[in-house]
């Protein structure tokens, strides 16, 4: 009897190299439908690389990436977006010389249906601040607003899975709160989320499950509760 | 009665200025005015050499518009654009002259040359896809050096250093009772031809800019990684920029070769590539009006001002006793590239954003550079 997997996203033994340097060593993880899964780890552990391997920006040298059971390991990045993976990349990477509206519009680049307006309204409901600044040039937004825009832009492709790379990085505590609230809302509306964070406490407080990455390897996995209670995790990442 | 009369007078008094103001602020009016001047000028100006210079300027406006797609829209620095101009010119020269005794009609080649040049655009684009910025510039520079060199040395096909002489000139055939018409060496029909080509090109390019493809170019110019993660196929988008950019130089090549009557390998050197680049940077990269103004200005400086200047200086200094013995005009003539350089330096100091900048270019200067968005190419763990 076959077990029907509910995994939306699965990584099986992913290796990634930058030139000769191996950044990921046999990373396996899965993200199930409707979950928020977080990947925590120190600088240089391979968190960003894992996301880039999924979204096709840095294709894996070995292993498989499966999206709803279909292999996307060597599929080009733009096709992966069309298949339903939205990526808000590290460092936000908004189009800083374009307006908020133009940024959101490019987020819906792959979409050919006429529901852009509707999706934009949804982004504006999630981030009322973006609505106020829709005609403003993105580079003149504050860091928090730029992060909102990066997430909003990724949502414009109507992803099944949303990959978020350190959304709280460099933000004021009040904005971190806003961002995490939105992550919860987006998830509650049915989007599966894979979240990378250095702020492990915050990440584990919204996530259902988590993985700990150390020097390119998954060293621990469990429910958010288990990880929060784990002495190793507490010592290394929670500063307890 | 007097009341209604006063009202009428008041209204009459108001009418002309109002409509005048409307006339003056209507953005279509300068456009129509400029259009009329452009159409009527060759018919009113008896000096054919002016028309000739204007018709040649058209070639460079077309080239600048084409390069603007690659550099201004997609942000790919191309230092060898004259190579495509050469390919367009030689394609016409080989297929419409006594060289191989092939005489394909001009009008047909004008259309197909765009495809020929676009094909070579893709050929250059393909190996450079992984490069960007300075590295891409070096490869295009190499391409720009190779192409004229090939035309110079493949003398069996291209006439070598002498080029190909005696190209077919455009003509309208004698059909349906209309008398035929040969362009010959009269610049007027060439002028109207390039005016029509330019009008069509501006319409095409501004539609391209506002299209889905245009938005993809802008996104790639801003941040290639972000573009890819928004579902833009960076490979095809960049190749299309090279192809479309080259296509317009195919038009320009065919037009210029037929007008000039000859092609020579020395007409497509690095200076030509750089001049076209200067036109778009100085005019305002990405902005069609800016690019056209830049092309006209640089062409005018190179083809008119720098050539006429020594004569003017000579006339001025002839009556000044102590200067008459010194060959000031000669100095000016010998240092014409110095003067050209100085004009460029001062224009860029005064208008670093270009004469008529695009919105993005303006923002860039206000924000400072946005290097942090481009810095992380290899990604970090």
Q: Which of B75, B357, B368, B379 to mutate to test the interface with A (most CBs of A within 10 A)?
A: B379
DSSP string, A209-226: EEEEEETTEEEEEEEHHH
Contact A54, A9 (CB under 8 A): yes
Residues B9 and B3: their CA atoms lie apart, in Å, by 10
Chain B residue with CA closest to A81: the answer is B231
The residue behind tokens 């733009």 is A78
Per-residue pLDDT of chain B (381 residues; tens, 9 = 90+): 444 455 555 655 555 555 555 655 556 667 788 888 888 888 888 788 889 999 999 999 999 999 999 999 999 999 999 999 999 999 999 999 988 999 999 999 998 999 999 999 999 888 887 787 788 899 999 999 999 999 999 988 898 889 999 899 998 877 777 777 888 888 999 999 999 999 999 999 999 999 999 999 999 999 998 999 999 999 999 999 999 999 999 999 999 999 999 999 999 999 999 999 999 999 988 899 999 999 999 999 988 888 888 888 888 887 777 776 778 888 888 887 888 888 888 888 888 888 888 877 777 666 654 444 333 333 333
Note the pLDDT of residue B31: 77
pLDDT in tens, A85-97: 999 988 889 999 9
Cβ of B379 within 8 Å of Cβ of A87? The answer is no
pLDDT in the model for residue B379: 36
All domains of chain A in start order, with CATH: 7-238 (3.40.50.300)
Determine the pLDDT at residue A185. 95
pLDDT < 50 stretches in chain A = 1-2
Taking CB atoms and an 8 Å cutoff, what residues of chain B touch A146?
none
3-state secondary structure (DSSP) of residue A20: coil
For residue A235, give the DSSP letter: I
Do A94 and B218 count as a contact with CB atoms less than 8 A apart? Answer: no
The answer to whether A47 contacts B234, with C-beta atoms less than 8 Å apart, is no
Q: Is A216 on the interface with B (CB under 8 A)?
A: yes
Q: What is the distance between the alpha carbons of residues B150 and B312, in angstroms, rounded to a whole number? A: 40
Inter-chain touch A106–B233, beta carbons under 8 Å = no
Q: Which of A24, A52, A60, A78 to mutate to test the interface with B (most CBs of B within 10 A)?
A: A78
Taking alpha carbons only, the member of B239, B269, B295 closest to residue B63 is: B295
Write out chain B residues lying below 8 Å of A23, CB-based.
Answer: 381
Kindly report the pTM of this predicted structure.
Answer: 0.85
Decide if B228 and A153 are in contact by the 8 Å CB cutoff: no
Shortest Cα distance, chain B CAs vs residue A21, angstroms:
11
**Measured between CA atoms, how close is B33 to chain A, in angstroms?**
33
Residues on chain B touching A169 (C-beta within 8 angstroms):
none
CA–CA separation, A95 and A118 (whole Å) = 22
Residue A31: φ, ψ to 5°? -125, 120
Is A18 in CB contact (< 8 Å) with chain B?
yes
**Assigned token pair, A21:** 């340097």
Contact between B97 and B232 (Cβ < 8 Å): no
Adjacent-strand bridge partners of A32:
A7
Contacts of B360 in chain A (CB under 8 A): 97-98
Question: For residues B340 and B89, is the Cβ–Cβ distance under 8 A?
Answer: no
> Could you read off the pLDDT of A124-139 as tens digits, one per residue?
999 999 999 999 999 9
> Are B222 and A153 in contact (CB < 8 Å)?
no
Give how far Cα B312 sits from Cα of B167, B308, B316, B328, B338, Å.
36, 6, 6, 11, 17
3-state DSSP: chain B helix, strand, coil percent, rounded to 5?
75, 5, 20
pLDDT at B1: 43
User: Which chain B residues touch A98 with a CB distance below 8 Å?
Assistant: 218, 222, 360
**Contact of B55 with B221, CB cutoff 8 Å:** no
Interface ipTM: 0.87
Q: Which of A239, A240, A162, A152 is CA-nearest to residue A206?
A: A162
CA pair distance B364, A138, nearest whole angstrom:
11
Burial A75-88 (b: 16+ CB within 10 A, else e): bbbbebbebbbbbb
Distance CA B68, CA B139 (A): 18
Angle subtended by helix axes A143-155 and A173-188, to nearest 10: 10
Residue A5: closest CA among A70, A64, A73: A70
Catalogue the E-assigned strands of B214-275: 262-263
From CA A195, how far away is CA A187, in angstroms rounded? 11
């Amino acid at each position: 009897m076959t077990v029907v997997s509910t995994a939306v996203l699965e990584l099986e033994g992913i290796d990634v190299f930058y030139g000769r340097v191996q950044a990921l060593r046999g990373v396996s993880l899965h993200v199930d439908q409707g979950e928020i899964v977080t990947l925590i780890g120190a600088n240089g552990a391979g968190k960003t690389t894992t996301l880039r391997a999924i979204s096709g920006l840095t294709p894996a040298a070995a292993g498989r990436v499966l999206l709803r059971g279909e292999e996307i390991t060597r599929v080009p990045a733009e096709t992966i977006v069309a298949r339903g993976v939205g990526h808000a990349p590290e460092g936000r990477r908004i189009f800083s010389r374009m307006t908020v509206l133009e940024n959101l519009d490019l987020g819906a680049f792959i979409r050919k249906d006429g529901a852009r307006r509707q999706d934009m309204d949804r982004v504006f409901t999630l981030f009322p601040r973006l609505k106020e600044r829709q005609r403003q040039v993105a580079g003149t937004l504050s860091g928090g607003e730029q992060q909102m825009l990066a997430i909003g832009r990724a949502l414009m492709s109507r992803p099944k899975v949303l990959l978020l790379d350190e959304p709280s990085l460099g933000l004021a505590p009040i904005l971190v709160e806003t961002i995490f609230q939105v992550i919860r809302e987006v998830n509650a509306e049915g989007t599966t989320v894979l979240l990378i964070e250095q702020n492990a406490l915050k990440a584990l407080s919204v996530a259902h499950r988590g993985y700990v990455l150390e020097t390119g390897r998954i060293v621990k996995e469990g429910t958010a509760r288990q990880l929060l209670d784990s002495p190793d995790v507490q010592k290394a990442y929670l500063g307890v | 009665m007097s009341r209604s009369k006063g009202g009428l007078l008041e209204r009459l008094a108001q009418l002309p200025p109002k409509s005048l103001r409307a006339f003056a602020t209507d953005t279509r009016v300068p456009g129509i005015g400029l259009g009329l001047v452009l159409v009527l000028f060759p018919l009113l100006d008896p000096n054919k050499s002016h028309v000739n210079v204007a018709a040649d300027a058209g070639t460079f406006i077309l080239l600048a518009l084409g390069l603007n797609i690659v550099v201004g829209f997609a942000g790919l620095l191309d230092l060898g654009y004259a190579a495509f101009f050469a390919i367009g010119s030689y394609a016409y020269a080989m297929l419409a002259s006594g060289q191989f005794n092939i005489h394909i009609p001009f009008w047909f080649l004008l259309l197909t040359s765009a495809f020929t040049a676009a094909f070579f655009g893709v050929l250059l684009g393909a190996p450079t896809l992984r490069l960007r910025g300075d590295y891409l510039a070096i490869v295009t520079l190499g391409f720009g050096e190779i192409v004229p060199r090939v035309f110079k040395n493949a003398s069996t096909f291209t006439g070598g250093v002498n080029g190909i002489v005696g190209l077919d000139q455009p003509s309208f055939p004698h059909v349906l009772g209309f008398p035929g018409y040969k362009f010959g060496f009269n610049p007027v029909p060439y002028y109207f031809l390039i005016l029509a080509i330019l009008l069509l090109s501006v319409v095409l390019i501004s539609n391209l800019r506002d299209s889905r493809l245009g938005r993809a170019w802008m996104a790639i110019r801003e941040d290639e990684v972000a573009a890819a993660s928004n579902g833009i196929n960076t490979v095809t988008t960049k190749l299309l920029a090279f192809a479309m950019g080259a296509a317009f130089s195919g038009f320009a090549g065919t037009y210029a070769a037929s007008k000039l009557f000859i092609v020579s390998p020395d007409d497509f050197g690095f200076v030509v590539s750089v001049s076209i680049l200067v036109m778009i940077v100085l005019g305002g990269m990405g902005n069609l009006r800016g690019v056209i103004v830049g092309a006209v200005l640089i062409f005018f400086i190179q083809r008119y001002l720098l050539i006429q200047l020594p004569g003017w200086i000579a006339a001025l200094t002839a009556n000044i006793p102590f200067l008459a013995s010194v060959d000031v005009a000669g100095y000016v003539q010998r240092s014409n590239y110095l003067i050209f350089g100085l004009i460029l330096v001062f224009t860029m100091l005064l208008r670093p954003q270009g004469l008529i900048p695009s919105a993005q270019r303006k923002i860039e200067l206000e924000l400072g550079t946005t290097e942090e968005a481009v810095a992380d190419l290899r990604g970090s763990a």
